[in-house]
Amino acid sequence: MFNLTRILAALLVLAALVLGGYAWVLSRKPDPAAQAAATRSAPQPPQHTVVVAARPIAAGQPIQPEDLRTVQLGINPVGAFKDTQGIVGQTPTLPLGVDTPVLAQHLAAGLATLIEPGERALAVKMDEVSSVGNRVRPGDYVDVFFALKRDNGEIDRSQARMLLSRKRVLAYGPGSLDGPAPPNGKAASSAAAAPRTEQARTAVLAIRVEEVNAVLLAEAHGRLSLTLRNPSDAAVPTADLYPSWPTVLQPALARGPKDAAATPVAEPQGADRALGGLAMESLAQGAQALRGAAGARRLPAAPLAHRAGAAAPPPSGPSVEVIRSGQVDTVRLP
């Protein structure tokens, strides 16, 4: 009897230990209902509307509406956009993959975005006299004149002409249409001090690409001057009154059927004319003198290689000597 009692007592102790362990295990498991309530009551991370690329976007191509879509992200990248209105039509400077956030630093900015198709931004040297007493400001419209002067006393062949008409000033000295840039190169704040235009030495003009050669030659061999004009004055010289300057490189001949004579191609324009180049002789004499009264013959502005046994004809006629930095260039005049 005593042994049976001891066995029952041991079994009861063992059962108590098992039940105690089970209770401890149950106490370690979270209550699903309590866990769900805690999840509902916990603050959720904020979601941000961000514009991303809906498909691969190539660099240098304007962004189209179908290239973009908006998503909800838990982060808000610096420079991100909330809607597509401020992005469509802009040009990315690097390729963007699918679902890549489109950021402000990915888009082209600065003066390049203010230049019209077919235009180029070109800086020219200026001083107080040639820039209307430093009264030129970014956004103004100016006419560009140049002068060639004889230095040997024969001033009758000196000349001054309008080179460009109604050209927009993109920047003047430290002032620019896209805002003055601080020395560290970061974007300037709206509270930046006004640029000190009295120290300006350059002006950046927006000009057609075919006009760049003429400006470079005129600046290298003469003197450029800006004349300020009223922005509402839209008058410009008649384009067809004077023939265009002949290019240094002559266009190729368009060949028709085998027995047909070769005919010149159309007059080069835009970038083709810029590639053709301009000789100082053409700039000084003018297209009318080089082409002749009829304007039908194209004279090469640069001498071609002489054929075997042929001697180059000696130059004749009046000329203008352009002296710059100790170098003397002689330009023949009609």
Q: Could you tell me the residue ranges of all domains in the chain? A: 45-108, 113-187+194-229
Which residues 6+ apart lie within 8 Å of 63 measured at CB? 57, 87, 88, 89, 90, 91, 92, 102
- Integer distance in angstroms from the first to the last C-alpha of the chain? 146
CATH of 45-108, one of 3.40.1710.10, 3.50.50.60, 3.40.50.1100, 3.90.1210.10: 3.90.1210.10
Whether the CB-CB separation of 126 and 201 falls below 8 Å is answered with: yes
Which residues 6+ apart lie within 8 Å of 39 measured at CB? none
pLDDT band for position 307 (50/70/90)?
A: very low
**For position 229, what pLDDT does the model report?**
95
Residue 51's SS3 state is strand
Whether the CB-CB separation of 175 and 188 falls below 8 Å is answered with: no
Q: At residue 96, what is the residue type?
A: L
Number of H helices, E strands in the chain: 6, 12
Instruction: Identify which has the larger pLDDT, 291 or 283.
Output: 283
pLDDT surpassing 80 at residue 276:
yes
Return the closest-CA partner of residue 125 out of 108, 140, 146, 155: 146
Whether the CB-CB separation of 274 and 209 falls below 8 Å is answered with: yes
Instruction: Identify which has the larger pLDDT, 98 or 239.
Output: 98
**For position 257, what pLDDT does the model report?**
58
Burial class (CB in 10 A: 0-12, 13-18, 19+), 255: exposed
pLDDT in tens, 192-241: 444 444 578 999 999 999 999 999 999 998 899 999 999 999 999 997 88
The Cα 300–Cα 245 span in angstroms is 11
Q: How many CA atoms lie within 13 A of 39 on its CB side?
A: 7
Whether the CB-CB separation of 282 and 245 falls below 8 Å is answered with: yes
Instruction: Identify which has the larger pLDDT, 13 or 293.
Output: 13
Query: pTM for the whole thing?
Result: 0.65
Whether the CB-CB separation of 137 and 197 falls below 8 Å is answered with: yes
Residue identified by tokens 């309008």 is 162
Tokens of 240: 């067809």
pLDDT band for position 298 (50/70/90)?
A: very low
